[in-house]
Structures are given as structure tokens and as C-alpha cells.
Structure 1
Amino acid sequence: MNTFAKTLIVTCLSFGWSVSAVANTNVSAQVSVQQHAEYAAIDSAMQTMMQAFEQGSAPTAFRVILKDTVVVGYSGKQQKVVSVSGEEWAKGFQPAPDEDQRHRQYQILDITDTGAVVKVMLDYPQWLGIDYLAMTKIDGQWRVISKSWSGTLKAAK
């Protein structure tokens, strides 16, 4: 959020005004993201990424990620921040026996002519997570250059 928007929120709250106009700036920002010339290309790359998840297919993932993509997140199990390469991440792309119970969706948050940020929401039987993918246009192709993840284990049913 830019400085102007933050100042506007503080001013509105100080005077007890409604902040609905401020909240609508996110709607207009999303509209401009969808109208960006690169939106369709990024959306296509993300559809390929979703197929890689669904199929458990490293070759499909490598159509979007790079071997040197950086993947970072905090592991509660290991009690530390872990970082792996795209090559290591892709080893985890295996068909899942519970694929029919896994739900994923994504939202393209921001786009420039050469960069984008995408939020991926993951709802798995035992995991609820969020991935933030930083994408860059390389040789005319949108590629994931980094992934930051977080999530929690779901309680056993």
C-alpha cells in the first residue's frame, strides 16, 4: 500500500469517516492488473503451474519454474527457515493419491512489464498453505524465480 493510501486511511479513521473508498482502491488495482497487457500470458503460465500440481509432474513444472528458482519457507517440523532450489522443489512433484481432495486457486496480485507476484492458496486434506510466487519475464516467457511459502497442518479428523 502506498504512502498516500496509508495517510488517507489514518485521516479517515481520525475523523471517523468510512474507509470504504480506501478499500475500493484494491478493487481498482485488481481491475488494472487484469487489464495489463501481460495478464493473459501470466495467467497461462499459472494454469501450467496448476497443471503441474494436479498431475504431480516435474516436467510440466519446469515449463514455468527454473532449476535455480529459490523456494523458501519456515518449517515448523524443523523449527527453521528452509531454502531449496527449483530442482529440489520439482522432486516433490509426484502424483498425490488424495488429489481429488486438494483444492488450489491463485490470484495475480501485481504486474509490471517484466515482473509479477501471484498468491496461490492451497487447501489440502492435511495442509492449509499460501505460496507467493515472484515471476519474471525471461526470453519472452513468464517464469517463477522465487516461491515463499507458509502454512499450517490441519488437525486430524
Structure 2
Amino acid sequence: MKSSPVTVQRLTLGKPQPWLLGRLAEIDGGNVEPFCCADVRMTSSPIPVGHIQLKRAYEPAEPGDGVRILVDRLWPRGVSKAKAALDDWMKDIAPSTELRQWFGHDPARWAEFQRRYRAELRGRTEALDRIRALARDGMVTLVYSAHDERHNDAVVLRNVLYDEA
């Protein structure tokens, strides 16, 4: 039985859902790789999974990065424009200065930071729609400068782009 393609999105928190993995195995003919410490859910997002990736500004640009967009309000220290190899710098989509300073990359404030930043992003639909359009057509790399790869604005932004597409 041939089924329509299913888009699977990884979430950063949660327990594995065996019932969903079993259903995915049925749909995909048994070809489901295990998800380590991640929850999965079905989504109707027209943005193909994997078309939005995150990369630190200090990592070298690669041909597979597609459109590279800096999503921080401040330019990364010590990174030249040539080395950054950016296609765009979307300062306005970054968290407000007040929110960024309040968060201070403190993991204890992560949940509240996500809530507040999502609220800020609700007023930036034009920029979000622009990134979504690019991601529907090909790879988009959201470039950020934070040291913490799990607790930063680009993580929240990627989730919003997929969730509300």
C-alpha cells in the first residue's frame, strides 16, 4: 500500500512516542531510523524537513549551506564579511536588545526566553514569510554567533518557521 509522504519534525524535548514510530514504520515500509531522546510529530508544513539548518558564524561556509542568513542583531566578533559568506543579515528578526540582555544565554531562562521571543516574532510576519519562501525552494542556513548550540535565538526561530508554516 503506497501512502502519501509524511513530514516528520524533531522536537528538542519529550519522550519517544513508540506508537508514532510504529505508524511511521508502517507508512515507510519499515525504514524508520530511531530517534534518540526526541519526540516526533506529524506536521503539514510545506517546508521540507532539513531545508532549514543552523550554523555558528565561526564555522566555515559550505556549498550545501544554500542561502546563509545571519539572524543575530549584533555582528559576530572577529568574523569578517568575507569569511561569513552571508547572503543576508536580518537584524530585525533577532530578539530585541532587551530580551537578548535579559536572557544572557542562561539555560535556566530558556523556557521563558522561547515564550517571549515567539511573542516578538508574531509581529515580524514579513521577515518570517521571506525565510519560509526561501526554505520552500531550497536550503536555508540560519547563522548565529552564540556558543550554546541548544539555547539560542536561531533554535527558536527555526522551530517557529516550521511550526507556523
Q: TM-score, normalised by structure 2?
A: 0.26
Q: Higher strand fraction: Structure 1 or Structure 2?
A: 1
- Which has the higher Rg, Structure 1 or Structure 2? 1
User: What's the TM-score, normalizing by structure 1?
Assistant: 0.27
Which structure is higher in RCO with an 8 Å CA cutoff and minimum separation 6?
2
